[in-house]
Amino acid sequence: MPEELTHKAPAWLTEEYVQKKLRVYFKDESLNVKQLESNPASGNGENYASVMTRINVEYTTKDMKARQPATFLVKTTFADKDPASDLLSEYGIYTREMDMYEQILPHLADLVKKDIGDARKLFAATVNVDRERDSIIFEDLSLEEYKVACRLKKLDLEHTYLVLEKLASFHATGAALAERQPGIFEKNYDRGFFNKHTRRYEHIMTVLLQALSRSLELNQDLKERYQAKVDQMVHHVMDYGERSASINPGDFVTLAHGDLWTTNIMFQYNGKGHPTNAIFIDFQFSVWNSPVIDLHYFFSTSIQEDLRLHHQPEMVQFYYYKLAEALKKLRYSGHVPCLFEFQQQFRVKAFYAAFATLIFGPVMVYNGKEEASIEQIISTSEKGLRFKDSLYQSEYMQKLLLSALPFLDQFGLLDEM
């Protein structure tokens, strides 16, 4: 059953505004927008940090005899009055994503194509970046039959390996770009979910862990084994998270996507239904850090449970060899760790998996009737508490916790550290 799409398009998104931006994009001052239709492009539970609107345009130019249809996506921030806007602004996410699309991603795409030799798309082309309105207009890749996979079913091995291959190219080109243009990531790329500048996400993380603890009352065995451990994590989650996201001597570091999960990946398929390309979207939390935070976050939120529980070492190995191969093609001269060292780096930062699995993961797979928003997570109202409880008390999450908690616990990730 399709999810209900409810948000309204920004008031400033008018025919005149779109016409002005398209004239620049197409380099044609004779372009005239004849019709503009706006519709929500993201559903309940799909995006907590921004609003996506699809615009259908019909336009003419002096060389056209008939109207030309076109479709674009417009990404905007929440309204200033929305609690999410105030919280997210401290992480610099809106400025950062505009910087990514204007200054970084074109370079990375060029390196992927020319040095790595992969002609496939890396990201959606940018039509316009409007810093005054904190908005970005992209090409609509659904026109090229790119699709987002189901966030509830999650990704199988074929999709997962394709993502890891593209992620290795993304990480490799980020490291190479930093080497070729020193200082390019020094400003505003140090604020992931855990960082030394702000802890504004702390309240969200603690109230979600508290909701997890309440949900364990539904299963006596899980309650006895894990409730006390979850309760102590409430008081230490930010310390553990910052430790897992800190850069240690000898770490391989690069530009990480920072929020790599199912809804931020689009796939293109061949005639037999096999995925042939994957592109990444939503670069608001891109951060200069270890690439393993992307791996932990992706594994913990986006791949099928059997893969997450039983196949992570070989998936890390597959990613590592793709990364090393891409770095070689890019003539990267920095230190590239051996596989053993990289697997150690993956283990040292494993609390990122606990955070992604237990805190953000339930929000990402929410499919209930309650309004899904940051405001609802923050709220202490009856409605807000009901939403948070519904995240963990669903049949889906209760089943997932039966495997997720023992998996994390065997590595000591639920103990006091």
> Does one domain contain both 174 and 208?
yes
Do 191 and 57 have their domain in common?
no
- Whether 299 and 396 map to the same domain: the answer is yes
3-state secondary structure (DSSP) of residue 39: strand
Does 317 or 89 have the greater pLDDT score?
317
The answer to whether residues 248 and 284 touch, using CB atoms and an 8 Å cutoff, is no
Q: Do 100 and 155 belong to one domain?
A: yes
Lowest mean pLDDT among 99-103, 157-161, 169-173: 99-103
Does residue 4 carry a pLDDT above 50? no
Give the tokens for residue 177.
Answer: 């770009």
Residue 344, pLDDT above cutoff 60? yes
Name the band, by pLDDT with cuts 50, 70 and 90, for residue 271. very high
Share of the chain above pLDDT 90, in %: 81
Closest-CA residue to 347 (of 261, 254, 244): 244
Report d(CA 242, CA 229) in Å as an integer: 19
Position 176 in a domain: yes
**113 by DSSP, 3-state: which?**
helix
Distance between CA atoms of residues 379 and 228, nearest Å = 24
pLDDT at 407 over 80: yes
Using the predicted structure, report yes or no on whether residue 49 has a pLDDT greater than 70: no
- Please report, for the domain that includes residue 185, its CATH number: 3.90.1200
Residue 417 falls inside a structural domain: no
Task: List the single range of 40-44, 207-211, 235-239, 247-251 with lowest mean pLDDT.
Answer: 40-44
Q: Is residue 138 part of a domain?
A: no
The percentage of residues in the chain with a pLDDT greater than 70, rounded to a whole number, is 94
Q: Is pLDDT of 78 > 80?
A: no
Domain range for 67 is 15-76
- Average pLDDT of every residue of the chain: 92
- Residues paired with 162 in a beta bridge: none
Residues 170 and 298 in one domain: yes
Alpha helices in 272-355 (DSSP H): 292-302, 305-310, 312-329, 339-348, 351-355
> Looking at 133-182, which runs of residues are DSSP E strands?
135-139, 147-148
The predicted structure's pLDDT at residue 372: 84
Model confidence band, residue 134 (pLDDT cutoffs 50, 70, 90): confident
Mean pLDDT of 208-231: 97
Read off the pLDDT of each residue in 47-64 and give the average, rounded to a whole number.
Answer: 85
Q: pLDDT tens digits for 272-283?
A: 999 999 999 999
| Residue 52 confidence (pLDDT) | 86
Q: Does 249 lie in the same domain as 212?
A: yes
What's the pLDDT score for residue 3? Answer: 42
**CA-CA distance, 416 to 236, in Å (whole number)?**
8
> Are the C-beta atoms of residues 146 and 268 closer than 8 Å to each other?
yes
Number of structural domains the chain divides into:
2
Q: Are residues 333 and 208 located together in one domain of the fold?
A: yes
Judgement on whether residues 102 and 68 belong to the same structural domain of the protein:
no
Q: Flag whether 232 is in a domain.
A: yes
Report the DSSP beta bridge partners of residue 178. Answer: none
Region 366-387: mean pLDDT is 90
Give the residue with greater pLDDT, 412 vs 187. 412
pLDDT given for residue 16 in this prediction: 95
The answer on 34 and 103 residing in a single domain is no
Asked whether residue 182 falls in the same domain as residue 322, the answer is yes
Q: What is the pLDDT of residue 1?
A: 31
pLDDT at 2: 36
**Residue 272 amino acid letter:** K
Other Cβ atoms closer than 10 A to 369:
9
Q: Above 80 in pLDDT, residue 294?
A: yes
Kindly state whether residues 281 and 369 are assigned to the same domain.
Answer: yes
The predicted structure's pLDDT at residue 217: 97
Segment 86-120, tens digit of pLDDT: 777 788 888 899 999 999 999 999 999 999 999 99
Q: Are residues 104 and 191 in the same domain?
A: yes
The answer to whether 190 and 247 are in contact (CB under 8 A) is no
